[in-house]
Amino acid sequence: MVFYDGCSIFVLFIPYTFSYAELKAGTDDFSPINKLGEGGFGPVYKGMLSDARAVAVKQLSVASHQGKSQFVAEIATISAVQHRNLVKLYGCCIEGDKRLLVYEYLENNSLDQALFGNKTLFLDWSTRFEICLGVARGLTYLHEESRVRIVHRDVKASNILLDSDLVPKISDFGLAKLYDDKKTHISTRVAGTIGYLAPEYAMRGHLTEKADVFGFGVVALEIVSGRSNSDSSLEDDKVYLLEWAWQLHEDNRGLELVDPSLSTCNESEAKRVIDVALLCTQTSPNLRPPMSRVVAMLSGDIEVTPVTTKPGYLTDWKFSDSTTFLSADASTSNTDQSTQFSSSAGTTQLSDPNYTPVNVSASMLGEGR
């Protein structure tokens, strides 16, 4: 496909198309044994292609509003965006109403499993610091450097995969857009996972790349502390990671956040990561630095801007189906673009199958305290 946008000509390569038969054979008919997990878009299976490449096959179970050619164009965009810190998309499969995506398989799983899982993979401090930097570089590329600018919308630990050398690779970028048919930054549907959601995006659907900066800040604190953003098994003042991190920061005890299972840790690096994360999670998107500045601050090229205001965090979500979701800002009708909420093990996932509209109200960290 060739596009001419008035000032530059660029070529989008048609993505490689796999046959359903090959993917079916390569995953043992999508056997449960090969299932790697399941997120908002559908299940993911480990597979082996006929050329012996290991792949992760994502079955998109939610019907996209887009037609076939638009779907292909979107997949072409995702395939064209390549960086050391982004998961490679090998291609897709479109047969009848089947839609599948084929990604490179990353053998060391996702960051959430390494940090909060059975910890079969131990990440030492220097690895964690490099992971923070790598994720920041990948997001900088998506936001500021790639030909097509992409807001990820779902930056979270399970979307950071680790390769054989523990190099972090961001996955699922560009996916939320497949389900977004309105050309406005005000999305009537929130993709993302509560706990990583920027307040302005969650409550008003206002989407800019600063929503990803917020998600990055949460992931960075999870990497330093080795715990998830919300953990109700902990003492009251520690349940919400951002709240706890801010409390420690105010008391000049920021480094107490560092994962106790780390035997050594470079304190100046850890302090930098924590301070940058608190900047990234500010309530006002304008106070959050662009990702290129995050990279510069983390690597010590520029000073970290001092943080003086507490981060913004959604702590209390109430769901009901009586009022319209995001009605304040969403200019478009959302009868067929609603948000589904399901809750499991303390994390609430937002995905977007056709579902009854729900009302969300949220209270912010520290409000009224």
Ligand X SMILES: *[C@@H]1O[C@H](CO)[C@@H](O)[C@H](O)[C@H]1NC(C)=O
Among 26, 99, 172, 244, binds ligand ADP (CB under 6 A): 172
255/287 with CB nearer ligand X: 255
* Distance between CA atoms of residues 271 and 120, nearest Å: 26
* 154 catalytic residue (yes or no): yes
Q: Among residues 232, 205, 193, which one has the least CA distance to residue 329?
A: 205
* Distance between CA atoms of residues 160 and 167, nearest Å: 10
Residues 85-114 that bind ligand X (CB under 6 A): 107-108
Q: Tokens in use for 300?
A: 């010590």
Residues 273-302 that bind ligand X (CB under 6 A): 300
69/263 with CB nearer ligand X: 263
Q: Among residues 25, 26, 62, 18, which one has the least CA distance to residue 43?
A: 62
Give the helix/strand (H/E) hosting 295. Answer: helix 291-298
Q: Among residues 289, 94, 83, 110, which one has the least CA distance to residue 174?
A: 83
* Distance between CA atoms of residues 246 and 254, nearest Å: 8
186/234 with CB nearer ligand X: 234
Among 15, 26, 39, 289, binds Mg ion (CB under 5 A): 39
User: Which amino acid makes up residue 185?
Assistant: H
Q: Mark the segment that binds ligand X (CB under 6 A) among 136-144, 207-215, 264-272, 277-285.
A: 264-272
Rounded to 5 degrees, φ, ψ at 27 are: -115, 15
Would you count residue 268 as binding ligand X (CB under 6 A)? yes
* Distance between CA atoms of residues 61 and 101, nearest Å: 11
- Which one of ligand ADP, Mg ion, ligand X, none is in contact with 268 (Cβ closer than 5 to 8 A by kind)? ligand X
Would you count residue 266 as binding ligand X (CB under 6 A)? yes
61/109 with CB nearer ligand X: 109
108/351 with CB nearer ligand X: 108
Among 36, 234, 265, 362, binds ligand ADP (CB under 6 A): 36
Q: Mark the segment that binds ligand ADP (CB under 6 A) among 70-78, 121-129, 156-164, 335-343.
A: 156-164
Interface with ligand ADP: number of residues (CB under 6 A):
17
114/314 with CB nearer ligand X: 114
Q: CB of residue 270 vs ligand ADP: minimum separation in angstroms?
A: 26
Q: CB of residue 321 vs ligand X: minimum separation in angstroms?
A: 35
Would you count residue 348 as binding ligand ADP (CB under 6 A)? no
* Distance between CA atoms of residues 168 and 348, nearest Å: 24
> What is the three-class DSSP state of 271?
helix
Q: From start to end of the chain, where are the E strands? A: 2-4, 9-11, 35-39, 42-48, 54-59, 89-95, 98-104, 160-162, 168-170, 192-193, 314-320, 340-344, 347-351, 359-364
Q: CB of residue 123 vs ligand ADP: minimum separation in angstroms?
A: 15
Chain residues that interact with ligand ADP, rule: CB under 6 A: 36-39, 44, 56, 87, 103, 105-106, 109-110, 158-159, 161, 171-172
Residues designated catalytic = 154
Chain residues that interact with ligand X, rule: CB under 6 A: 107-108, 118, 121, 164, 166, 266, 268-269, 300
